[in-house]
Every structure is written in structure tokens, then in C-alpha cells.
Amino acid sequence: MGGNDFVSHRSRSLLAILGVLLLNATTISAQTNYVCRSLIELSDNGAWSWFMDERAIIDRGYLLVGSVRAIGKFENSTAPGWGNVELSTLDLKTLKHERFILHEHFEQDDHDAPGLLVLRDGRYLAAYSKHNQDPRSWFRISSRPHDTSEWMPEVEMVTPGVKGNWGGDNFTYCNPMMLSAEGNRIYLFHRGVSQDPNYLTSADDGRTWTYGGKLFDGRHGYSPYTKYACNGRDIIHFVATEDHPRNYDNSLYHGFIRNGKVYQSDGRLFAPLSTGTNTSIRPWNLTRVYQGGPTNVAWMSDFELDKDGNPVVLFTIQVDGAGLPRGQGGMDHRFHYARWDGQYWHEAQIAFAGTRLYAGEDDYTGLGSINPQDTSIVYISTDAEPHSGEPLISKADSKRHHELYRGVTTDGGKSWTWTTITSNSTTDNLRPLVPVSKDPQTALIWMRGGYWNNRGEWTTKVVALVMEANAH
């Protein structure tokens, strides 16, 4: 084949590829409620907060997702289905899905969603609590290994402290995780005594629990918000703020726990892990990941470990609230991404996160998720175009909605390529999750619908896309 023929053939091939891409782009731009692949509805109503993990797990080809059901106003507490704590399951091969009620009529609040863990014998642990109501939590364990169809009776866990009307030593958020190097001891981190991060431990596969101690103290007796990531062997990482972002212009700090001691990011010993209700540790004494301020108030969305066991943080910052009363800011958020390379933290803005979900909580965003199988991939929910920040106006109803995007970086987070997961929606797509998976398949899970208040005012469905675990 001659040179001119080769150029002509290559040009035709490139034109053909360009034509397909343009056709796909046109299809996306025109299609109402576009989703990039088959959408699976796991529950007709469900929601979760983002400070309990794991909220979703995959085990032997089955996806498990915890959520809380809403049926209207928080005050409608006598209505059937109000505040049910539920578990949705999906067979990733057959796509058959089922739903189990862990606790009927518990509390209609997304903070009550369960934290899930696979126990040594293959049974499942689901731990949950009410939102800041009393110093108790509850858990259930599945009756049989790798089977969600039947569960043993609910068991109550009581922690130290005094019940408060709204605060005190009340319990919120369940984060169970197991360390094999400690004889498979399970830690359950939660907000508890003095509204700070505390932990329980279990040495018998979650059957009985003992109060362990307090991780650290925050400002003014209100919780430093904390997310955790565990390597399953010997280390539990955490990333924390000083306070709730409505109360303080938060930064982010990192440390890790190993053999009963708390360390800085670089491995320098900081202090022993407390085994009581008092501690000298403050999050701002640990390694700073990001310096916040009045025009860059930080709050983490997701926290994972990369293939080398190094921590990676996806977080948002609010940039427009300086000097404004509560309820008047939160119209401009940005996604940031930070990773520890073994020596230094590297951090950069990666996308526009759009506007708050509702007035009164200026820092509530659509959130995002890091792919735990490949931390160079993230999924975000935003009502702004990721690169430019231009409002996303749906062609379906001419309204602004939160849509999902998939971001990929090949240079450690400096630059990102964004592809569309949903577009032209007639409702919002919020709080995406990607569970850890050793299976060939994993899933992207999110809340699809209306969300107006964490006290039960949501109409969001629990939906999922099945995808390859290590897909790029």
C-alpha cells in the first residue's frame, strides 16, 4: 500500500471514530434521564450519610447496601415504614435483588444507616445507631455465612457517658473494621463520649463488645468529623476536621493507628491510643493534609488506601461563605483530591462541586467516591460542569440537577479527564459509592431522587450500575 493510500485510510478511520464519538455525544446531549449503562433499582426509597463505613460491601458475587427508609416528614413517626433500617442485596451475575429490614421503625434519619463487615466465618455484621439520641448502638449478625436472608436477634451495645437531649455522650455513626494482626480484633469507631470519636472493640467476632476509649477531642465538645480506612491487617488510617463546617473553617488532618499507638503520616509516633474517656490527642496536632480558611472550608467526602497502602482523600471546600450568615453561603463548592506518596501530601482542586443540597446546611454537597480498586478513579456528584463550573441545566426539564461523572487521572491527581455517567436528569443523583471488591465485578451505587433534609425528607431510590472491578 502506498503512502498516500495509508494516509487516506488512516484519515477515514479517524473520521469514522470521530463520527461515532460525535454520535454518542449527540445521543447523550439529547436523551432524557441518560445513564451510561443499565440502571438497577435496589430499593424504591433509601438514603445514607457518609460518616459510617462500609456502607456497601461485595462478598462472593453479592452486593450488600445499607440504607434508611423515609415516608415523609420526620414527625410522621407512627406511619408504616417510617425509619426502617434496611439492607438491599444484588446478585452481580443474575442481577436478582432483594431487601431485608434490619430494624423496623427505628428512626427516619440518614445518619442511622448501618456500617457493614464480613466476619471471619463469612457471616455479616450490621451495626447502626440513632442520630445523637442516646449512648447506645445496636447490631445484628446474619444467621448463616454469606447469606442475608435470615439474621440473628438484635443486640444492644451500651457505651459510657450520660444521655443528652441533643449531644452529651450520645452515639452516632458505626465504622466496624477488623485487624488480622491483632487476632482478628474488631474496632467499631463512632461518635460518642463528649461527641468526639470513640471506639469499641470485640475479640469474639462481634458477639460481645467492650468500650475501648476516645480517639481524640475536638473543639467545644462537638465532634471532629472523621473518616477511617483499614488495611485489614495492622493499620487503621483516619482523616479528620476540627469541627462541623457550619461552626468552624475546617482544615484536614491525617494520622494512623498501629499496635495501640497513634502516628503522624510519616510514621513518627505521636501518642498512645487512649483506653479511657480522656485523651490528650487533638486532630490539629497530627499531620495537616489541607489548610482551610474562610474561603476554603474543608469537609471530606471519601477516604481510601491505594495499592501501596497509602491514604487518598476526596474532599470538598466551600469558597463563598466568608462573612455570610448560615444559610446564605454554599453556592460554590469545589472537589479536591489529596494523596500521600510515602513522604509528602500532594493536593489539588480537581472539579467544581456546584451548590449545596439545601438551605441551612451550606456544606452539604452531592459528594463523591474514590474507586478503592484504583484510587486514580473517582466518581462525583455535581450540578456544575466539572471543568468550568457552569450550571448543569437539564434539557429534560430546564432545571439544575446533580449529575454523576467519572474522573480519571494519570499524573497523580494533577489533571483529570471527566466522562458522563448521568445527564439530562429530571431528578438528582447523589452520594455515589464504590465498594471494595475482590470479585471480577463491582458496582457504582448512588441515591437517585429528591433530598431535602437528613431527618427523613427524601424520595431517593437506591440504584446501581454493575461494572468491572478494575475497569479504566
Does residue 443 surpass a pLDDT of 80? yes
Does residue 401 surpass a pLDDT of 50? yes
Block residue for cell numbers 454493575: 466
For residues 261-280, average pLDDT: 97
Q: How far apart are CA 422 and CA 401, in angstroms?
A: 10
List pLDDT tens digits, range 311-341: 999 999 999 988 888 778 999 999 999 999 9
pLDDT at residue 23, rounded to an integer: 46
Quote the pTM value: 0.93
Q: What are phi and psi of 453, to 5 degrees?
A: -170, 140
C-alpha distances in angstroms, 154 versus 101, 104, 125, 203? Answer: 12, 11, 11, 19
> Which residues have CB under 8 Å from 24's CB, separation 6+?
none
pLDDT at residue 6, rounded to an integer: 32
Strands of 172-291, DSSP E:
172-179, 185-191, 197-202, 210-214, 226-230, 236-240, 252-258, 261-263, 269-272, 287-290
pLDDT at residue 25, rounded to an integer: 52
CB count, 10 Å around CB of 72?
A: 13
For residues 392-410, average pLDDT: 98
C-alpha distances in angstroms, 142 versus 123, 254, 298, 326? Answer: 5, 34, 38, 43
Q: Is 253 exposed, middle or buried (0-12, 13-18, 19+ CB in 10 A)?
A: buried
CB 425 within 8 A of CB 394: yes
Rg (CA), the chain: 22
pLDDT at residue 472, rounded to an integer: 54
Block residue for cell numbers 425528607: 457
Query: What is the pairing mode between strands 172-179 and 197-202?
Result: unpaired
Does residue 2 surpass a pLDDT of 60? no
pLDDT at residue 27, rounded to an integer: 55
CB 85 within 8 A of CB 72: no
Q: How far apart are CA 268 and CA 123, in angstroms?
A: 37
Q: How many percent of the chain have pLDDT more than 90?
A: 84
So where are the chain's domains? 1-30, 31-468
For residues 174-190, average pLDDT: 98
Distance of CA 204 to the CA centre of its chain: 28
pLDDT at residue 471, rounded to an integer: 62
Q: Tell me, what DSSP letter sits at residue 153?
A: P
CB-side neighbour CA atoms (13 Å) of 74: 10
Q: How far apart are CA 341 and CA 348, in angstroms?
A: 14
CB-side neighbour CA atoms (13 Å) of 90: 25
Q: How far apart are CA 418 and CA 453, in angstroms?
A: 29
* Confidence band, pLDDT 50/70/90 cuts, at residue 160: very high
For residues 433-454, average pLDDT: 94
Distance of CA 59 to the CA centre of its chain: 19
* Confidence band, pLDDT 50/70/90 cuts, at residue 78: confident
Q: Which of these ranges, 161-165, 224-228, 254-258, has the smallest mean pLDDT?
A: 161-165
DSSP labels, 19-57: HHHHHHHHHHHH-TTEESS--EEEESS-B--SSSS-SEE
Set of cell numbers at residue 150: 435470615
Q: How far apart are CA 448 and CA 443, in angstroms?
A: 15
- Identify the three-state secondary structure at position 162: coil
CB-side neighbour CA atoms (13 Å) of 231: 18
Q: How far apart are CA 358 and CA 366, in angstroms?
A: 11
For residues 13-36, average pLDDT: 62
Give the DSSP H or E segment for 315.
strand 311-318
Q: In what order do the strands lie in the sheet with 461-468?
A: 40-43, 461-468, 441-449, 428-433
List pLDDT tens digits, range 329-373: 999 999 999 999 999 999 999 999 999 999 889 999 999 999 999
For residues 170-195, average pLDDT: 97
For residues 464-472, average pLDDT: 81
pLDDT at residue 28, rounded to an integer: 62
List pLDDT tens digits, range 112-145: 999 999 999 999 999 999 999 999 999 999 999 9
Q: What angle do CA 388, 394, 395 make, to 5 degrees?
A: 120
Identify the residue with better confidence: 323 or 61. 61
In sign, the C-alpha dihedral spanning 91, 306, 248, 429 is negative
* Confidence band, pLDDT 50/70/90 cuts, at residue 4: very low
- Identify the three-state secondary structure at position 14: helix
* Confidence band, pLDDT 50/70/90 cuts, at residue 29: low
Q: How many percent of the chain have pLDDT more than 70?
A: 93
Set of cell numbers at residue 360: 441551612
Q: How far apart are CA 460 and CA 278, in angstroms?
A: 40
CB count, 10 Å around CB of 263?
A: 20
For residues 395-410, average pLDDT: 98
Q: How far apart are CA 444 and CA 39, in angstroms?
A: 10
pLDDT at residue 20, rounded to an integer: 45
pLDDT at residue 469, rounded to an integer: 78
CB-side neighbour CA atoms (13 Å) of 458: 31
- Residues present in the chain in total: 472
pLDDT at residue 24, rounded to an integer: 53
CATH architecture of 31-468: 6 Propeller (2.120)
